[in-house]
Amino acid sequence: MLKKQKSYREVFSKYGGIMRTGELTKEGITYSVLQKLIAEGNVEKIKYGYYQWQDEKAFSEITVLVSLFPEAILCDMTATMYYGYTDRMPGIWHIAVDNRTARKKFKMEFPQIKPHFIGEKRLNIGVSEGVMEGNRVKIYDRERVICDCLRHMEQIDGEQFKVIIQRYVNDKEKNAARLMEYAAKPGVEKKARRIVGIWL
């Protein structure tokens, strides 16, 4: 059975650790085999039609996220953590997606996500790339993240907001001109000049 488990894991690895029902069928993993793997704790159903391999080398949350939602863009508090602007680990993953995307697609227990539904015109402003735990991800650049924080500053803890702004100001890779360019688009230019501009 150990040999079989290893081969099943290798099959899952081909798909990034997560397989859809159709892919399981394609690889010859029958319903009865799948149920046995679930019962033995080797596989977990993470949402309808999606299954993840589980063991001591189980795939991380970000691996699952990228596999399930390759079009998603990391944003908000997830992005501030990535850039080192906060030390608070968000309990959920914040992702930006097209506002025409079906809402039910994001109803799942693992990983916990908070989708931000954004219009196409604003969705692609400041999209960049990064690497998290070996996974290439889409993520908003520093300036877009700060603009989004300014737009929703009332929803962020005051002390945390101050830390985010101070760390951005001290970031050697910041781009003040780009920040002001982005700020004009979502309509937060006055906030950017008043709160961030005095330090730049």
Summarised one tens digit per residue, pLDDT across range 108-167 is: 777 889 999 999 889 999 999 999 988 899 999 999 999 999 999 999 999 999 999 999
Q: 125 versus 54: which is more confidently predicted?
A: 125
Give the pLDDT of residue 2. Answer: 40
pLDDT band at residue 79, thresholds of 50, 70 and 90? Answer: very high
Helix (H) or strand (E) run with residue 167 in it: helix 158-169
Q: Is the pLDDT of residue 57 over 80?
A: no
Q: 72 versus 102: which is more confidently predicted?
A: 72
Q: 137 versus 1: which is more confidently predicted?
A: 137
Q: Which of 95, 111, 8 is nearest to 63 (CA)?
A: 111
Q: Is the pLDDT of residue 63 over 60?
A: yes
Phi, psi of 187 (to 5 degrees): 80, 35
Token reading at 108: 């799942």
Q: Which of 107, 13, 127, 29 is nearest to 67 (CA)?
A: 13
Determine the Cα–Cα distance for residues 9 and 4; give it in Å rounded to an integer: 9
Q: Which of 108, 65, 135, 40 is nearest to 8 (CA)?
A: 40
Q: 163 versus 60: which is more confidently predicted?
A: 163
Q: Is the pLDDT of residue 9 over 50?
A: yes
List of residues 6+ apart from 181 with CB closer than 8 A = 143
Give the pLDDT of residue 200. Answer: 61
The whole-number average pLDDT for the span 55-74 is 81
β 135-140/127-132 pair status = antiparallel
Q: 173 versus 6: which is more confidently predicted?
A: 173
List of residues 6+ apart from 31 with CB closer than 8 A = none
pLDDT band at residue 58, thresholds of 50, 70 and 90? Answer: low
